Structure 1
């Protein structure tokens, strides 16, 4: 363990943050890893670098192949590391403030990380008398430990239980009174994992079943295949959500509600999240292969596009909403591929426009809830874009209604329905629902995602049921 000492400092290892007060009281030495932070400092720095520069994954992987010390040296040169966005153990921080209030010095120590990372943390918190780190990323000579014996009172140490301490040092038990600390030290329950996988978002993958209904394929095998395809998309989407949370962890911690997500809050460690993501991805691809190779291709394309969205596309204004509309529409196309029916051009056009409208409503809600007039985190929108987004959402939504009316008048609908004229009754219902979603967004009654809002909204379910009944009557 690289421990700071009061009367000397070695450039590259320690830096003074306050006036040294070595005789003011029994010092407290705090370790960085798993004590001051709820998660691994390495993983935090890695995902911060990848989020800002996706191509860095190549250089980071090359550094890791040369050893953990080389990876940590590489991370120490990152220009994107932000100590303000780390998941700090609030109980440890509270203890440090209490010790400072007693007039005792507090020191930050690390024998695994380069001084650049440790110094950034120390300077951000601003409570440490001095800090000490390892220049090489490995343990230093044990003689360093004896330097603290010059303190006649000895010192208290808050860190790893396996760390060997010199004479006069007292190991303090790590307290777990804080709820976030308990979450970080105990295995996450199923509710936390369900939140990480965003199981509530699986309902969106019911879009895979839409071609089953529009093509009137109600046999056992088409239904079973469509349901299996929906499961494959759900698992693949959960893997993509985990990747998005890993990439966005720093931005999520600055968000009013997203800071409570499992990775951002420290409830699930990044290493556990990566393992779960790999398992979900393998299972989803295996199920897709069992359905058909064309469906596997659709799922792979969906995952590739959603990955591009997580890393880059969501930061480009308007490209982000178009990408979301395409991702939703891909679910519908994949459903048609899974059961082996031709994708209707009418359904394709309707899906693009209605999902474009909902994606724009989602951005409208996010921008409307901005704080202090600043740009939303990770978005390329300005506050005065709000009115234009509302106009575009309305235009896209009612274009979807127009496409539905043209579909009713087409030759395609006459081949599928005996009384297609009855379907005109669905137009006012669809128009009402689109207008209601936009009105509720303007009133601030939609929390975040309009699709999730619709799934929880009784009026939306009534509108869907009404349109379904009208289409059945038209058959």
Structure 2
């Protein structure tokens, strides 16, 4: 992959699929809504890439000591800081222009995302628990952008599940970082404020909360009425299996990969996610 393309971290764009969630779960999709959602997706990708560039520019020394991050363009010296900042500026312009064209309100949400992530890169990522909370908030902002773009309502269920899942994934990543820390590889400055017992306890609690919240979602009369089905609870099979698989990869196999990379490489997770999407899509749109 070309260094400049690699600098954008396109593999992270899978996170921005959450922008499409409000439209998908609305139960009704129009071409206009779909077009606006795609536009919002590309706008968010551009802003997110500029954030990644800024973050990488501040972590060059730490990344050079990381077994995987040392291959990032700035850490490896493949791209100069000046060129990286110019690219970030161009991406910001493109992202905000697309956002304004889609809906002016999205500009405000993206500005908030940018502001929070600048603070994250400068200071907040050094504070244990605050760092993972900021990551989770980023996913909620993706939902907000998707809701504005598609003119759909955000239910409390999708907000709750997204926040819990994002916390779960962020803490699972911290577990990987802590394993590397034990092996003498310093991955981030705040990692010494975590330990395996704490992280594993949090992962267990979050797994339980995600499962219970999802079952409550499935049994909600409003949701069953929306889906016009009493069998939505079957979808919990995919959710539980996905969580268990991820826990196995993180705890048993100690896979040193980021969540987005795992989803792109692990066939079990891919099949589980695809099965869940197909089942939910069938319930929502099968009678259309």
Give the TM-score, by structure 1 length: 0.57
The structure-2 alpha-carbon separation of the partners of 1:363 and 1:336, relative to structure 1 and needing over 3 Å to count, comes to same
> Alpha-carbon deviation of 1:371?
4.7
* Counterpart in the other structure of 1:418: 228
Give the drift of 1:372: 4.4
Q: Distance in 2 between matches of 1:458 and 1:391?
A: 27
Partner-residue secondary structure (3-state), 2:147: helix
- 2:239 matches 1:430: yes
Identify the residue that residue 19 of structure 2 maps to in structure 1.
208
1:54 is matched with none
- Give how far 1:382 is off: 4.1
Q: Which of 396, 399, 404 is the aligned partner of 2:214?
A: 404
Confirm or deny that 1:443 pairs with 2:260.
no
Post-superposition shift, 1:455? 2.6
Once the two structures are TM-superposed, the CA of residue 309 in structure 1 deviates from its matched residue by 1.1
**Deviation (angstroms), 1:204:** 1.5
Whether the 8 Å contact between 1:398 and 1:434 is mirrored in structure 2 is no
- 1:271, distance to aligned residue in structure 2 (A): 0.4
Match of 1:354 in 2: 165
The one of 261, 272, 275 aligned to 1:466: 275
Give the secondary-structure state (helix, strand or coil) at the position aligned to 1:202. helix
**Offset from partner CA, 1:304-339 (integer Å, 9 cap, x none):** 111111111111111111111111221112101111
Aligned partner of 2:200 in structure 1 is 390
**Equivalent in the alignment of 1:319:** 130
Instruction: Tell whether the 8 Å contact from 1:208 to 1:226 is kept in structure 2 after alignment.
Output: yes
- Measured after TM superposition, the shift of residue 415 of structure 1 is 3.6
Q: Is contact 1:365-1:444 (8 Å) kept?
A: no
| Corresponding position of 1:456 | 265
CA distance in 1, matches of 2:127, 2:57: 19
| Cα deviation, residue 215, structure 1 | 0.6
Partners of 1:289 and 1:376 lie apart in 2 by 37
User: 1:305 aligns to what?
Assistant: 116
* Cα offset, 1:354, TM superposition: 0.9
Is 1:293 aligned to residue 101 of structure 2?
no
CA distance in 1, matches of 2:145, 2:116: 14
1:198-250 deviation digits (Å, cap 9, x = unpaired)? 11111211111111100123210000000010000001100000000111112
SS in 1 for 2:142: helix
Query: Conserved in 2, the CA contact under 8 Å of 1:362 and 1:450?
Result: yes
> Which residue of the other structure, out of 219, 227, 237, is the alignment partner of 2:30?
219
The CA RMSD over aligned residues, in Å, is 1.7
Q: For residues 4 and 180 of structure 2, what CA distance do their matches in structure 1 show? A: 28
Counterpart Cα distance in 2 of 1:235 and 1:301: 15
Asked whether the 8 Å contact 2:161–2:213 carries over to 1, the reply is: yes
Unaligned runs of 5+ in 1: 1-189
Q: Structure 1 residues 273 and 437, CA, compared in 2 at 3 Å: closer, same or farther?
A: same
Match of 1:370 in 2: 181
1:414: Cα distance to partner?
A: 3.1
- Structure 2 residue runs of 5 or longer lacking an equivalent are none
| Closer, same or farther: CA 376–252 of 1 in aligned 2, 3 Å | closer
1:258 to partner: Cα distance? 1.6
Kept after mapping to 2: 8 A contact 1:366/1:448: no
In the superposition, the TM-score normalised over structure 2's length comes to 0.93
Structure 2 counterpart of 1:191? 2
Deviations 1:54-78 (A, max 9, x none): xxxxxxxxxxxxxxxxxxxxxxxxx
Measure, in 2, the Cα distance between the counterparts of 1:472 and 1:340.
Answer: 19
CA distance in 2, matches of 1:418, 1:426: 14
Conserved 8 A contact 1:329-1:355: no
2:95 maps to 284
1:345 and 2:151 are equivalent in the alignment: no
3-state DSSP of counterpart to 1:216: coil
